[in-house]
Amino acid sequence: MASHITGLSFSELVAKLAARELSSVDVTATFLDAIARRDPKIGAFLHVDRDGAMRQAEGVDAKRAAGQFVGSLAGVPVAVKDVMCAVGQPATCGSKMLKSFIAPYDSGAVTKLKQADAVLIGRTNMDEFAMGSSGENSAFGPTRNPWDTDRVPGGSSSGSAAAVAARMAPLSLGSDTGGSIRQPAGLCGIVGLKSTYGRVSRYGLIAYASSLDQIGPFATDVTGAAMLLEAIAGHDPRDSTCVNTPVPAYSATVDQPLAGLKIGVPVEHFAEGLDPEIERAVREALAVYKSLGAELKDVHLPHSKYAIATYYLIATSEASSNLSRYDGVHYGHRAAQFGSLIEMYEASRGEGFGDEVKRRIMLGVFALSAGYADQYYTKALKVRRLIRQDFDAALVDVDVIAGPVTPTPAYKLGEKSSDPLSMYLGDIYTISANLAGLPGISIPCGFTTSSLPIGLQLQAAPFAEEKLLRAARMFERATDWHNRSPAIAST
């Protein structure tokens, strides 16, 4: 019974809940039990609110029994990355700095989940303050890839991706600053969507890099991602960057194929450094699109070669500013022993932050320092504009841009810990969308000979998520990669 429920597709689960063939209590209890069995081997969750989740599930069942209106996600368990505030719940950001913090309010995304009658099942592990690409930087232990627990699941939304891949939650929320939804989705063999900057409220999202951060869904299939995005998207006056534009009915149109679909293939994404097995799978995915009537066209993103450098100047600069508030006085961990005020700052931040966070803060402070800001940060902003212009030009002639999500499949835990630059290069195909503010989605498109998932990335023009989801669903209907699950999902 348990593996039957956790193995249902999102559409099947929603249909059975709506028809009252399954109760929210049964579904929620089943996923909670799956977490108890599977997560000790994965490390996807930092906090599981069993009592609170069961109360929410009982409330949904009571509303249904009384014939009251229920939301679009009624009774569906959703896991939330530990970077979004939910009242009364921990929000640690995977850091010792916030290990004792309990959120006093709901983030915009969590508010929307509650309005949709979703069941908040738990808080997921992540790279500390969303800084990382492997899931190894959490102060509370690494997350492991459900397909091979000796390998990384990707990051920074490591727990959210691993929870869905291991069928411990049908849906989850992550945040994406440079690929932190799409990259772990690709490495874990699920669907992950980074929405357009401004599509989803960032209110209550604990900031890493404010001009890059964006919230988005994880799901086992495109339909689930469409419905979760539909639930959380929309204007929020509490976030000045959240755009006041109507939210399309993504779930109503996702199954409508795109006639005359034109796909741009960036030649720069098939160059040195791309694993041959990943290139093969992506090329085969493009062939599937061609067989469905899509037209493939080479496009150029000439400034993409500067994306990594541009990102690590802008993101670290914003991070050094955002994280300056954690000083042991206003917010965050305070050291037990110190002398002067300055020593208290130093000791508190030294104890509270991990190595990767310290590295990025120092990079940002340097990039913004007197005499260097124009040379580094200001120049990076100019290159960012050029990167956006590349996408604007390419998307004039095509509907979506397709390519790999990552240059390599999931690597061994610890393999790149001593080589930060090599790890940073894992985001080489995803970072540009954040710099340009575009939506992007990762969908499963194959496996390596070692049975590791491979993801296909699709990117579209700003606020074209509807087109993106329909294009993704076209491929999904023609293949069965999304139906495969790791062995641990059946335990």
Residues that are catalytic: 81, 156, 180
- Whole-angstrom CA distances from 60 to 28, 34, 172 are 11, 21, 19
Sheet bearing 400-404, strands edge to edge: 45-48, 119-124, 77-81, 171-176, 214-219, 191-194, 440-447, 453-459, 400-404, 262-266, 295-299
Please tell me the number of Cα atoms within 13 Å of 352 on its side-chain side. Answer: 27
Fill in the amino acid letter for 91.
Answer: A
105 in Cβ contact with 150 (< 8 Å): no
Question: Would you call 455 helix, strand, or coil by DSSP?
Answer: strand
Other Cβ atoms less than 10 A from the Cβ of 418: the count is 8
Tokens (6 digits) for 26: 């049964």
Listed in sequence order, the residues at least 6 apart from 458 whose beta carbon sits closer than 8 Å to its beta carbon are 400, 401, 402, 440, 441, 443, 468, 471, 472
Instruction: For residue 129, count CB atoms less than 10 angstroms from its CB and return exposed for 0-12, middle for 13-18, buried for 19 or more.
Output: buried
Which helix (H) or strand (E) covers residue 349, if one does?
Answer: helix 341-352
In 3D space, the residue among 231, 227, 267, 178 whose CA is nearest the CA of residue 473 turns out to be 227
Phi, psi of 314, deg, nearest 5: -70, -50
- Whole-angstrom CA distances from 172 to 225, 318, 438 are 9, 26, 21
Other Cβ atoms less than 10 A from the Cβ of 168: the count is 32
Tokens 């932050």, located at residue: 353
